[in-house]
Structure 1
Amino acid sequence: MFKIKSVLRSDEKDMVSEFESKIMVRGSEELNDHLAPNALASVFRAIGEKKQLDLLYETLSSHEPESRIIEPVGVYHESGKWYIFGYCHLRSDYRQFRTDRIHKIQLTALSFSKSHGQLESYLQPNSGEKTKIRILVDKDIVRYIKSDRKNYGFVSEKHTADGCEMTFLCRDPRDMFGRWFMMFADYATILEPDWLNDTILGYMNQARERIKKRPQG
């Protein structure tokens, strides 16, 4: 807890002691202080009162921040980033939200729709089924994705004559990994699972249709 308190404001440090089980630090990376304004205060108040939060959140695929209603479970730090972990009503599943992508956070009057377990139980390495993913990335692009890949279940890499082969174990291959892969899809190939290629093609077709329907200036 000392490492966490060292990057928090004085008014947030008191809350950490009260909600210690709701905060985790995973890995040995240095903590940063990039937390959304009043993020901890809002999260812990929501947990204490069992009220939903309204996040104005910027996803990888969105051009503008979108509203996400969540039921927060806790906060954790991993790979140099802070995350709020909670139940997302849009996805009807548990998701993590990077705090540096939160533009606004607001407590609502809506009560939790379900009960939630401890943060640690959701973040255990063996919790939830994982999918093995292998991709081949052009060597010139590897350095641009090296830091982010840890957030998507990166396991290992192998350099070949064709590029850098990376292996991942991911709990959310279709949405979370698939949309991240779209950021550099023109420089990479999915080796397995084959069905993930169909997912990527689906995203590309959706993007193509949206471009066709764009307002003409």
Structure 2
Amino acid sequence: MEDSQIKEPSGKTWEIASMTRIGFARIFDLLICSIPAMIATFFLPLQGWTSILASSMIAFVVLVSYFIVVPLFFHGNTIGKIIFRIKLKKASKITFLNIFLRESFFVILPWLISMLLKIGAFTIFSIGDSQNDNPNSNGFWIAFAIGRLGDLFYLVWALFLFLTIKIQTNHQSGIDLRFGIYAVKNIALEDRKDFVKSSPTEEVGKHVHLQDNLPAKFSEDVIKEINDID
């Protein structure tokens, strides 16, 4: 199947990025964002509300900074997009509102819902009987189930996004369709070394046999030989 392409008003043609590139770029970005949170968890073990709120705040600041603030200075691109050689394109300039709503839908919203579920789980566990070590009666399993529900929600959200983007011809999410944003390969077709542009002669379909090699056209030597025979 031939890859989809889009054309800018400037005349340049861009090839739509494959789902493989888009998916790996997003996973790579999420892995980068998880590093500060893991470091924070190491230095702030979950032993109370203070440490939980502190680690959650660090994770939130990292997500907003990485996916919303930093891309403003790189035309909407992240490290993952740069490494996997894709970029965001739009007929007009990509604005802060575009990036904010796009990444809020992709990352921030599911993260907030997942985090609220985990905070709820910790709340249930913390109000239980602290003197009761029996997990079947101290609320541990209820809290554990709610916490895992937060992780499951995040996974289902990511799967939902992947499937909805996959079925679109140009691999766009619903919010990308709304703003006219495309994920494309980072080099325009015209700028690639292997790009071959048809010459004007080929484009108009030059008929060589009707110009340079006419059927009844003889060279001067042939005409001279015919005259000598006479």
Q: Name the TM tier (shorter chain).
A: under 0.3
> Which has the larger strand fraction?
1
TM-score, reference length from structure 1: 0.24
Larger radius of gyration: 2
Kindly indicate whether structure 1 or structure 2 has the higher relative contact order, using CA contacts under 8 Å at least 6 residues apart. Answer: 2
TM-score, reference length from structure 2: 0.23
